[in-house]
Structure 1
């Protein structure tokens, strides 16, 4: 099992924006696949997150930006390594995890979603 954190840079478009969003992850690999947990550390820049919507491939959370970032308009776009989309606008942060479409060799699904100490918490699994 591995656990680590990293920072995703926020591309500022206007206003006072934080420089990055810190993300904590854990991974557990087993024969035939792996299980991943992601916890975006939103609390330094937002209030308590709320779950908005999702399905077996997506999970979406929203939180109000702290007053010092309320005028921020920025984003983080997903990459092959980090399937997270973050929008900061209208005084809100929107965090979205979107898993890629299934292939015969690599099906995936979100297995658990919650709020953990005010932050989004998502667990997902993928077969290899």
Structure 2
């Protein structure tokens, strides 16, 4: 599973650019629902000194602890960044909707003006 994941990961188009975008830790959880085995483990992939390294974590608790530690160790709050991005997208879509509504109102107003003109 780990080898298959890493093969797919390294072939993905975004792979060469991840570390330059600041993405240096990835997590992939594995489960076996068909055979009722449940949780198999968590694969931690991280970028260190120009090499992607891997680590297999057996328990969910250890995985959650590591993820929480890495989030707290960052100089910025990822959750706040996502919230800001969502807020900006909502502002932009609201502005675009208002433009469309204004255009439709103007088109409707101009349509009525043209019909009132009487030519002799």
Using the size of structure 2 for normalisation, the TM-score is 0.23
Using the size of structure 1 for normalisation, the TM-score is 0.22
Name the one with the larger strand percent: 1
Which structure is richer in relative contact order (CA contacts within 8 A, separation 6 or more)?
Answer: 1
Higher Rg of the two aligned structures: 2
